[in-house]
Amino acid sequence: MRKLIYLLILGAMFIISCGQEGNKNEANNSESDNNKEVKGKEIYNRICIACHQSNGEGTPGSFPPLAKSDFLKNKDSVIAQVLNGKKGEIKVNGMVYNNVMPPMGTALKDQEVVDVINYVYASFGNDGSKVTIDQVKHIRATVE
């Protein structure tokens, strides 16, 4: 009887420790993803929010929306937009804007550009697309 209880306890400990191992891995993975999302959000709230607003809706007539923006379909254009900014006409969701977005390429490192763009894709009802650091490096090298 004693032996059986001992075995049961050992078994339980084994199962618990496996469970913890699993949780730990899960926590690590989601932590690094979370970190990127937190960084992206932090950059958005520091820089982009002033014009594109906290809900990504922008201001009709002045600042185009990032929420469900059809401009987001072309990732290269989005990266170029953040790196170089833009002056002049741009059409977003059928509406023409003619304003100025300052370039962010000097203020933001490649990874920060990735994080903020992926935050925008993951937010405001957008489709969760992702850009990679290689894409950002490529666009940075081809402009100017």
Which residue of 80, 83, 97, 114 would you call a contact of ligand HEC, by CB under 6 A? 97
113-142 footprint of ligand HEC as x/- string (CB under 6 A): ---x---x----------------------
CB-based contacts of 85, cutoff 8 Å, min separation 6: 100, 101, 102, 103, 104
* Burial classification of residue 117, based on how many CB atoms lie within 10 Å of its CB (0-12 exposed, 13-18 middle, 19 or more buried): buried
Q: Counting contacts by CB under 6 A, is residue 79 touching ligand HEC?
A: no
Which residue of 39, 42, 92, 137 would you call a contact of ligand HEC, by CB under 6 A? 92
In 53-122, at which residue ranges do the beta strands (DSSP E only) sit? 86-92, 95-101
- Please, what is the minimum distance in Å from the beta carbon of residue 40 to ligand HEC? 9
Closest CA to 84 of 92, 76, 95, 74: 76
Q: Which residues are near ligand HEC by CB under 6 A?
A: 47-48, 50-52, 63-66, 69, 71-72, 78, 81-82, 86-88, 90, 92, 97-102, 104, 116, 120
